[in-house]
Amino acid sequence: MVQAYNHMIETYNAKNEIRYHAHKRGELKRIYSSIVNTSKQTPVYKINLSNESQVYALGIKEAALNIKNKLEEITDPPEESIFMSKSVYVSDEEVLSAKLLTDDTKQLPEMLTMKLHNLASNQVNKGKELYRDLSGLSVGVYAFRIYLKDQSHNLSYEVKKRVNNLENQNQIAQIINKADLGIIASVENHGRNFNSIKLEADFPGNFGERSFTLEDIGEQDTGVVEYLGLNRLHAAGKGALFDLNNTHKVAYTNTFSIDNILQISLKKASEDPVEIKLVPDGNKILNHIEKVADTYNELVNVAKARTEETLEHNRALKLLKELQGLSKVYHNELEACGISISEEGRMQVDETLAYQAAADGGMESLFQRKNGFIARLTEKAASIAINPMEYLDQTIVTYPNHRQLGFTNPYVTSIYSGMLFNSYC
């Protein structure tokens, strides 16, 4: 047994997660009772304790523990079940998008309805359209001031030699952008060699109020603000107007949160209402379902390897047939959730169907049904973990005498494969 155990340490990487193997006292008592009850029904037998047989027994025990672990990870405890995880469904993502900021969504309604009248917009100034090749600014230093957010910022532009209007516009735009005040400056071409400066705030403003203003503060009669028309308002900032569950609302940005739980990003105005729903997190659920399939196939692979490597494989075939039989009984409910068993006995997951089942609640029903496939598979995995020796070829010596007073013989199943180990990985 020690040789087989050491061989397992060298052969297999630990895959088990400890959470569901760290048993409470009551759970340990149930496991012990299961061993006792199994032993009562188990005859005394002889088996071939080769290294291969011991590795196989420990292999199916590990695989069964992994299956049980993954299934319990999905469903236990109910308040932490993977099916409690939520994502957001938006009926029209061209109008808006939404995402959760936290896993705690208890304070959020299951559904919101939004009708978006207009988006929030920032202030835009557009300067005078000037002929590009004229030279309108004399040599000198031009000082000007920008007011925004109750602050003022002084900037200056030096003309060392007369240049054309386009050069002046490009230089002023660079100065404003380099100051990094939250105002984006650019030069627009209007055709026929006419250009102007465009100034746009990258922050929201109060409805109907200016977010920024400019003025000349130099000594010239005509400064750059007046000459280039930098303070000419083209569009004032305004908030986003929308109805949320038939209540009129205003937001000063196009991205905002509701109760720090749900973040909404507005994209396009529409008079058609948009539904925002909390639905099961299909991607997270699908990821866990695929892990269940992997652990199930791990058990199948160990049993199949046994049938290919030795002639003593009748019990390994028995295990494979039991798994196949279990899946056939529940074929319809598995198929409805995008889960199927191949001819070789391996579990396959159709991502599209499984995702849909996760989103519409069908997958949760599959896992929560008390007498369904998952419940039966959990029982089977627990049974294999308690007594993997059931699936080793054996020669019966004698059957247990159930009439004998006080008969238990609780350790028959554990002396071969370390059944009293909580987990060897």
Residues in the chain, total: 425
Q: Which domains does the chain have, with CATH numbers?
A: 2-83+282-417 (no CATH), 86-120+239-280 (no CATH), 124-235 (2.60.40)
- Separation CA 209–CA 217 (nearest Å): 23
Structure tokens, 289: 């379902």
Amino acid 343: pLDDT: 87
CB of 244 within 8 A of CB of 114? yes
Spell out the per-residue pLDDT of the chain, length 425, in tens: 445 455 555 554 444 444 545 556 666 666 666 666 666 666 555 667 778 888 888 899 999 999 988 888 887 666 667 888 888 999 999 999 999 998 888 888 889 999 999 898 889 999 999 999 998 899 999 999 999 878 999 999 999 999 999 999 999 999 999 999 999 999 999 988 999 999 999 887 766 678 899 999 988 889 999 999 999 999 888 888 999 999 999 888 899 999 899 999 999 999 899 999 988 888 888 999 999 999 999 999 999 998 888 777 888 899 999 999 988 989 888 999 999 999 889 999 999 999 989 888 888 888 888 888 888 998 899 888 888 878 877 655 455 555 555 555 544 444 444 444 444 44
Name the packing angle between helices 314-329 and 282-309 (round to 10°).
150
* Vertex 400: Cα angle to 395 and 405 (nearest 5): 165
- Collapse the DSSP code of 140 into the 3-class scheme (helix H, G, I; strand E, B; otherwise coil) and give the result: strand
Structure tokens, 35: 């061993």
Say if residue 28 is exposed, middle or buried (CB neighbours under 10 Å; 0-12, 13-18, 19+).
exposed
The DSSP-derived string for 346-383 is -EEE-HHHHHHHHHHTHHHHHHH-TTSHHHHHHHHHHH
H or E stretch at 334: helix 331-336
CB of 93 within 8 A of CB of 270? no
- Separation CA 150–CA 297 (nearest Å): 66
